[in-house]
Chain A
Amino acid sequence: MQRRTFLTSLAAAAATPRLSWADAGSPAYLAAARRPGGDYALFGLDAAGAPLFSQPMPARGHAATSHPTRPEAVAFARRPGTFALVLDCARGVVTARLTPPEGRQFNGHGAFSQDGSVLYTSEVVAEGSAGRIGLWDAARGYARIGEFASGGIGPHEIRRLPMSDDLVIANGGIETDPSDRTPLNLDRMRPNLSYMTPEGVITEVIELPDLARNSIRHLALRPDGLVAFAMQWQGDPAEPVPLLGLHRRGAAPVLAEPKDEEMFAMQGYAGSVAFAPGGAEVAITSPKGGRLQVFSATGAPLWSVARADVCGLGPCPAGGFVVTDGVGLVARADQGVLSPMASSNVSWDNHLIALG
């Protein structure tokens, strides 16, 4: 975006009355995508999976997070990220551009405080991949207001716990080369799930010592606080390992083992995780295996569907899940059946962010 356009947009934003998500067409989902020309954008999708709006991004995106009250989304660059954009989805303008401090990189995910006044971003110190959580003043133009340690190496997704300002962070455990994502520490990685107060005081840490090479990367939360965490296996691909864990604070984690015949279907890789409406089912997707696997909230395998390059995943209000793939499909998956909802000539990126 040109600086002049940006300033004009800001002025326009300041001059008009306060807007809500309804003014953005009440999108049901946000998703980053590559467009046919090779450029990138963040899209708002309606409940049927059709695009309502799109906002150009300067490079490939990864995930996004939505402001709890304002029709505002923060779209994060793909790791190692050098930018995040604050988008006014009602007016279709970029209202702020976040740049990590010198020597830091965004890791593709962020979360707002309960009142929407603070944005937390998942970051690493570029050299050594030590995890940081960046704090940004969402009430006043997204100035950087602080940071604290994430509790591990290579944090990926960060979420706020429901009805709370406490945070939960998936520290993936992988130290990467600052320039090209090459992993440097697979033989000594120690991923964890860290809970912390909004001041950064760690209150609980979950590790899986027998599965130290299972990088904990993505999170989904149920309204009652049950955390689902999705993992990516960095060990021998011929070893079948669980890729989904379920955890409630103060309890031991439960690992969700797939059915025998599906033990390698995900190729050791889960890219997204989500609960279905009602929270009785939880799913993970694997673009590498072309598979959606669904489990009960107690970790029992239920059903799966095959779809090449599937990754984006969210709840479907009508029941089950909505998935997206790299050839532009938005589809509903429910009880083992995949039903196309909408098709666009874009490549949907890793994550589908459910709003509201």
Chain B
Amino acid sequence: MTHRLTRSALLALTLLATPARADVPEALDKDILPGFAGFTAATATLAEAAQADCDPQALRAPWNAAFDAWLEVAHLRMGPFEEAGRGLAIAFWPDPKNIGGRQMAAMLQAADPALLSPEGTAQISVAARGLFGLERLLYTEAAQANPAYACKLTAALAGDLARMAAEMETAWTGPYGDLLRSPGAPGNATFLTEAEVRQALFTQLLTGLELDAANRIGRPLGSFDKPRPERAEAIASGRSLTNVARSLAALHRLAEALAQGLGEIPATEAAFARAQTLAAGLDDPVFASVADPSGRLKVEILQQAIEATRAAAETELGALLGVSAGFNSADGD
């Protein structure tokens, strides 16, 4: 009944080789790295424009292009996203206590010149930086408290965003991407097996779908008795539904990249197609209709379609990749 395992037996277990598969390099080269290159380019364009002219009207187009580019990679909440709080600093939402808004008001009041240098801007709270910090300056009345400082802060935050985007791309094309490509290599304590890499990317896909359904749609939906349209994402810029649609498109590509060469995922494809069609057909850009029964129903149907996509991907793609939800993370105790 008692099993005494020798070290050599253990070693043999860990050395069981898994055949090389193409899914991870496919996903990296065809989806992830181009996405980060696009985000770097879009934020660099925004930073240059903001440096030349901080007029909010003129910066809205490059800001939207940067947000679009972010949604291509925003679901990759691992590695460079987590380091130095970059993911939070790039897009701090949801923010139910309006920490970002309060910090922005305080900065405009204090008008501290030290925050305008690259080093200074990087020290600003994650809640007040990034795309949502810029949205407050470009789309709300906040800047009117101190237009001169707001102008300089706009350029500083755009530069900070471009810096973070470039750092993420550098990490993904270099050291972090290498970790995904070389699981189990000496010194790679992040990924010990190829299965762990697949598990990590698969988790990003499922979490991305969960956050679209639970946050981007679920927060404004609230409950039937207490709808919360004011909690939708990026209301000031009118991007709430756009963000859902673009996120779904990016997640769809990640799912296809992961499945490529391994097999077909017809149920997942059908579920994505349905959710994306519903999002494209919804005439409610900031989910303002959630307080109205018929409008609410359409938003709920989109949410359910995204939840169904997650369920399909978990079952179908999970089986294809040979991975499943974490043993402890799914336990909850």
Contact = CB atoms under 8 A, between A and B. Distances in A.
Given A62-B333, A78-B333, A344 B2 contact: no
Contacts of A62: 333
Interface string B75-99: 0001100101110110000111100
What are the 3 tightest A-B residue pairs by CB atom distance, in nearest-first order? A261-B85, A326-B327, A92-B2
A331 interface: yes
Interface of B: 1-5, 7, 10, 13-14, 78-79, 82, 84-86, 88-89, 94-97, 125-126, 189-190, 192-193, 195-196, 199-200, 203, 215, 219, 326-329, 331-333
A260 B195 CA distance: 32
A238 interface: yes
Given A290-B329, A326-B326, A326-B329, 14 more contacts: A52-B5, A62-B333, A92-B1, A108-B333, A181-B332, A263-B88, A306-B190, A308-B196, A310-B328, A327-B192, A327-B195, A340-B192, A344-B10, A350-B331
B326 A287 contact: yes
A309 B3 CA distance: 26
Interface centre among B78, B96, B192, B327, by most A CB within 10 Å? B327
A261 B84 contact: yes
B190 to A, nearest CB: 7
B13 A343 contact: yes
B2 A287 contact: no
Interface in A281-318: 287-288, 290, 306, 308-311
Interface stretch (A53-61, A117-125, A145-153): A53-61
A36 to B, nearest CB: 10
Given A50-B10, A51-B3, A51-B5, A331 B326 contact: no
Interface of A: 25, 34, 50-56, 62, 78-79, 91-93, 108, 156, 181, 217, 232, 236, 238-239, 259-265, 269, 271, 287-288, 290, 306, 308-311, 325-327, 329, 331, 337-340, 342-345, 347-350
Contacts of B215: 238
A56 B1 CA distance: 8
Nearest to B214: A237
Given A260-B125, A344-B13, A50 B7 contact: yes
A82 B108 CA distance: 60
Nearest to B326: A309
Contacts of B95: 238
A166 to B, nearest CB: 25
Nearest to B215: A238
A109 to B, nearest CB: 10
A240 to B, nearest CB: 9
Nearest to A265: B82
A52 B4 contact: yes
7 contacts: A50-B7, A51-B5, A53-B2, A261-B84, A287-B331, A310-B328, A311-B328
B4 A260 contact: no
B189 A239 contact: no
A287 B326 CA distance: 8
A239 B127 CA distance: 12
A10 to B, nearest CB: 14
B189 A338 contact: yes
Nearest to B96: A238
A263 B97 CA distance: 14
A23 B97 CA distance: 57
Contact of A239 (B86, B88, B97, B333): B97
Contacts of A56: 1
Nearest to A285: B328
B329 A343 contact: no
A295 to B, nearest CB: 17
Given A309-B327, A339-B189, A344-B13, A53 B4 contact: yes
A93 B1 CA distance: 8
A309 B329 CA distance: 6
A196 to B, nearest CB: 23
Contacts of B195: 327
Contacts of B200: 308
Nearest to A108: B333
Contacts of B192: 327, 329, 340, 343
Given A308-B196, A327-B196, A345-B13, A55 B1 contact: yes
Nearest to A89: B2
A51 B199 CA distance: 25
B94 A350 contact: no
Contacts of B219: 238
B333 A350 contact: yes
A92 B2 CA distance: 5
Contacts of B79: 306
A288 B329 CA distance: 4
Contacts of A108: 333
Contact of A308 (B84, B86, B326): B326
A269 B329 CA distance: 9
B213 to A, nearest CB: 13
A195 B126 CA distance: 39
A326 B14 CA distance: 15
A91 to B, nearest CB: 8
A351 B5 CA distance: 21
Contacts of A338: 189
A54 B2 contact: yes
A85 to B, nearest CB: 12
B89 to A, nearest CB: 7
B188 to A, nearest CB: 10
A129 B135 CA distance: 47
Nearest to B231: A238
B1 A236 contact: no
Nearest to B125: A260
Contact of B328 (A50, A260, A349): A349
B329 to A, nearest CB: 4
Contacts of B328: 271, 287, 309-311, 325-326, 347-350
Interface centre among A62, A263, A306, A308, by most B CB within 10 Å? A308
A340 B189 contact: yes
A264 B88 contact: yes
A323 B63 CA distance: 43
